[in-house]
Amino acid sequence: MEKNMQGKGDLLLLKSVGEIASEGEGKIEVFKKYGIDFCCGGNKTLKMACEESNINEKFIVNELNAVQEQGQEKEKGKNYISNQGANDWDIDFLIDYIVNIHHTFLRIHLPEGAEYMEKIARVHGSRHLELIKIRELFTKMTEALIFHLDKEETGLFQHIKDKKTGDGLLKEINDAEYDHEYVGHILKEMNFLSSSYSVPEDACASYKHAYELLKNISDDIMIHVHLENNILFKKI
């Protein structure tokens, strides 16, 4: 069946989605375009992910290879904060990066998201019923995330830095992965209900801002969870 798929493509299809995602942001952009879950679904091979989502393997392999070739050129011009090369970072630095960039992002933007969702659900909820459900999901997710961030910062991450090992640490990692999955499910549902955060024609500025905010929060969580599941936890 696969005689026509050769070398590079075959190898790539057998790699895990998480591993490919950790090779750079360009690859992550390709996964986002095709709707492939690279954070909680990161353990699947690219082949499995394609089969599950009915994606043409050849197309995505070609795009990933093209990104690989363009990658180095693009990176040369970058001067903003990037997790490029996170695979090779020292564990303590990776933890500090996750906390300072991604946990801080959520602590700032989750309350703002809640405020805007509250507002637009109140004003537009009668005509756009999905807003009521999205508000409810966002509240549930925010509560779970704040608890999760605290737990990582004071528990798991501290224990990794203290070089703890054994069943206790393993349990903390499993707990964190469980939380990630829970949040992942909520993100998928919100994405579905909001039609990937596309605003209706009658949307006001607050509506647009709320959806943009939720989309940014969702994108940031995907990268954040990817750094933890596929890079940090794999190193331990």
- Nearest alpha carbon to residue 54 among 28, 35, 33, 30: 35
**Tokens representing 27?**
């690859």
- Residue closer to Fe ion (CB basis): 34 or 97: 97
Contact region with Fe ion (CB under 5 A), list: 119-127, 129-137, 186-194, 224-232:
224-232
- Residue closer to Fe ion (CB basis): 172 or 228: 228
Footprint of Fe ion on residues 94-153 (CB under 5 A)?
152
- Residue closer to Fe ion (CB basis): 60 or 156: 156
In angstroms, what is the minimal distance from the CB of 36 to Fe ion?
Answer: 20
In angstroms, what is the minimal distance from the CB of 179 to Fe ion?
Answer: 6
For residues 184-216, one letter each, b for 16 or more C-beta atoms within 10 angstroms of the residue's C-beta and e for the rest, the string is bebbeebbebbeebebeeebeeebebbbebbbe
- Nearest alpha carbon to residue 213 among 118, 99, 127, 147: 118
User: Contacting Fe ion (CB under 5 A), which of 134, 228, 229, 232?
Assistant: 228
For residues 87-112, one letter each, b for 16 or more C-beta atoms within 10 angstroms of the residue's C-beta and e for the rest, the string is bebeeeebbebbeeebbebbeeebee
Footprint of Fe ion on residues 146-165 (CB under 5 A)?
152
- Determine, following the binding rule CB under 5 A, whether residue 37 of this chain makes contact with Fe ion: no
* Dihedral pair phi/psi, residue 45, rounded to 5°: -75, 160
Contact region with Fe ion (CB under 5 A), list: 4-12, 59-67, 198-206, 220-228:
220-228
**Tokens representing 168?**
């206790």
Rounded Cα gap, residues 43 and 62, in angstroms: 21
Rounded Cα gap, residues 189 and 140, in angstroms: 12
In angstroms, what is the minimal distance from the CB of 171 to Fe ion?
Answer: 15
- Residue closer to Fe ion (CB basis): 19 or 228: 228
In angstroms, what is the minimal distance from the CB of 168 to Fe ion?
Answer: 17
In angstroms, what is the minimal distance from the CB of 68 to Fe ion?
Answer: 28
- Residue closer to Fe ion (CB basis): 152 or 172: 152
Q: CA 39: distance to chain centroid? A: 5
User: Contact positions toward Fe ion, by CB under 5 A?
Assistant: 152, 228
